[in-house]
Amino acid sequence: MGDNYHTLDQYSSEKNAARQRRSKWIVIGSILVLVVLIGAGVAAGIIISNRNKSNGGSSSSSKGNNKDPSVFTKDPRLHKSFYGLAYTPEGSLVPECGNSLENVIKDIQLMSQLTTRVRLYGADCNQTALVLEAIKQTKVDIQVFLGNYVVPTDHAAYERQRDILKDAIQTYGTDHIAGVTVGNEFMLNYLTEHEATDPDGEIGKQGAAILLADIQDTRDMLASLALPKDIPVGNSDAGSFFSTDVLSAVDYGLSNVHAWFANTTAEGAAEWVTTFFEETNVQPAALLPNKPKMYIAETGWPTKSSDAGNANNGGSDASVAGLQAFMDNFVCQANDNGIPYFFFEFFDEEWKDIQFGGVEGWWGLFNADRTLKDITIPNCTAP
Ligand SMILES: *[C@@H]1O[C@H](CO)[C@@H](O)[C@H](O)[C@H]1NC(C)=O
Ligand SMILES: *[C@@H]1O[C@H](CO)[C@@H](O)[C@H](O)[C@H]1NC(C)=O
Ligand SMILES: *[C@@H]1O[C@H](CO)[C@@H](O)[C@H](O)[C@H]1NC(C)=O
């Protein structure tokens, strides 16, 4: 079955990618630590830690049996301080699926209290329509970067998702769509599978050609709809795996920048992320003729590991205190410095823990049951 194959392939790719990412980051990390020490330091963020101890982590309809999703209790612990959030609705992996509008509405209600931007990774299991429907029903101010998770060995997966995206755009219009991201960690996975490392090398160019065709096809699909506004088309990859060919063909690039995989401490993570992103992504992109806008696609800190061996990656432990330190140093400072980022991630994803173990399932601001972790959300206003 194509779908089974796709799922297995996606799982093992991501697992390999995580391993590869870890060692890659460590190498890059050691080089960059030096750069960071030499380079001008970024002033430490000043953060408020007003611990607001009110209860009620989950948002439900406020009054009795009120079923209007646009009426919901706001959690005073939440602030709209995040530029964006990385999100995958629970139950969005083929072939199992199992997501529900009810859960997505709950998630959108919570996320709308933290940000005005959400990015998705793929389109399977109707997640595109569910998110746009939830935004419609909750009437919240959220822009979505839709996604098409491209698998090198399964072109039908691309086409299936493209058709879902097309359908969702036709149904919901463009008011809440900020972009369509074609490919997530595609080059990282492609190179890892072919035991190569250079996205601009011969094998890298083979992989890039697959993406380039899909990016053009997505542009053609959008053009065929004669939409009232241009929808930017982008690509997402691990920070040091962007293909120059691909970046030259997109309107934006989403870059995963994880201090955790770079042997940094939680306290040093914000500065590391800022420097890495600027030097590895922003500066090279600015030299390309099309000048794609670069965003941090994922950045965060895990709050625990499922096994002792992965509880520390060289710098600090995976811990709630580490997440707090990273947020305190990164979030408001990145806002002030005009760094666009998607915090990773909205909630703990159980499937990742089941498949990969270690820290993979524990990056959420919220637990899997959508209660807020024991953290203080920075109180500043994101742009
Ligand atoms: C996808 O979600 C939308 C919004 O909830 C719904 O109207 C539609 O029927 C769903 N499609 C499928 C195939 O489940
Ligand atoms: C991680 O950083 C520590 C402290 O700077 C250093 O002693 C250690 O060798 C580094 N580990 C790796 C794998 O680079
Ligand atoms: C958050 O900041 C706003 C604006 O400065 C302030 O009015 C509000 O009291 C703060 N909230 C908390 C919980 O500190």
For ligand 1, whether the C-beta of 99 sits within 6 Å is no
| 369 assigned to some structural domain | no
Distance 220 CA to ligand 1 centre (A): 24
Distance 263 CA to ligand 2 centre (A): 6
For residue 177, the surrounding DSSP H or E stretch is strand 177-184
What is the span of the domain harbouring residue 112?
A: 2-356
Distance 9 CA to ligand 1 centre (A): 26
Q: Which atom of ligand 3 is nearest to the CA of 380?
A: 2
Q: Are 260 and 301 in contact, with CB atoms under 8 Å apart?
A: yes
| 18 assigned to some structural domain | yes
| 366 assigned to some structural domain | no
Distance 358 CA to ligand 2 centre (A): 20
Distance 379 CA to ligand 3 centre (A): 6
Count of C-beta atoms within a 10 Å radius of residue 210? 20
For ligand 3, whether the C-beta of 52 sits within 6 Å is yes
Distance of CA 22 to the CA centre of its chain: 17
Average pLDDT value for the chain: 87
Q: Residue 137: nearest ligand to its CA?
A: 1
| 368 assigned to some structural domain | no
Where does the pLDDT of residue 54 fall: very low under 50, low under 70, confident under 90, or very high at 90 and above?
very low
For ligand 2, whether the C-beta of 263 sits within 6 Å is yes
- Read off the pLDDT of residues 112-134 as tens digits, 9 standing for 90 and up: 999 999 999 999 999 999 999 99
Tally of domains within the chain: 1
Q: Are 190 and 243 in contact, with CB atoms under 8 Å apart?
A: no
- Read off the pLDDT of residues 343-364 as tens digits, 9 standing for 90 and up: 999 999 999 999 999 999 999 9
Q: What is the pLDDT of residue 53?
A: 29
Output the domain CATH number for residue 153.
3.20.20.80
For ligand 1, whether the C-beta of 126 sits within 6 Å is yes
In angstroms, rounded to a whole number, what is the distance separating the alpha carbons of residues 369 and 298? 21
Q: Residue 24: nearest ligand to its CA?
A: 2
| 376 assigned to some structural domain | no
Distance 45 CA to ligand 3 centre (A): 17
| 318 assigned to some structural domain | yes
Q: Which atom of ligand 2 is nearest to the CA of 314?
A: 1
Region class of 125: left (phi > 0), else alpha (psi between -120 and 50), else beta? left
Q: What is the pLDDT of residue 67?
A: 87
> How is residue 166 written in tokens?
């097309």
Q: What is the pLDDT of residue 85?
A: 98
Nearest CA to ligand 1 atom 13: 126
Region class of 25: left (phi > 0), else alpha (psi between -120 and 50), else beta? alpha
For ligand 3, whether the C-beta of 80 sits within 6 Å is no
Q: At residue 45, does pLDDT exceed 50?
A: no
pTM summary value: 0.85
Q: Is the alpha carbon torsion for 123, 383, 363, 185 positive or negative?
A: positive
Q: Which atom of ligand 2 is nearest to the CA of 29?
A: 14
Distance 360 CA to ligand 2 centre (A): 22
Q: Residue 168: nearest ligand to its CA?
A: 1
For ligand 3, whether the C-beta of 50 sits within 6 Å is yes
- Across the range 196-206, mean pLDDT stands at 98
Where does the pLDDT of residue 87 fall: very low under 50, low under 70, confident under 90, or very high at 90 and above?
very high
For ligand 3, whether the C-beta of 381 sits within 6 Å is no
- Across the range 43-52, mean pLDDT stands at 28
Distance 19 CA to ligand 1 centre (A): 36
| 382 assigned to some structural domain | no
> How is residue 314 written in tokens?
């060289």
For ligand 2, whether the C-beta of 290 sits within 6 Å is no
For ligand 3, whether the C-beta of 74 sits within 6 Å is no
For residue 285, the surrounding DSSP H or E stretch is helix 283-286
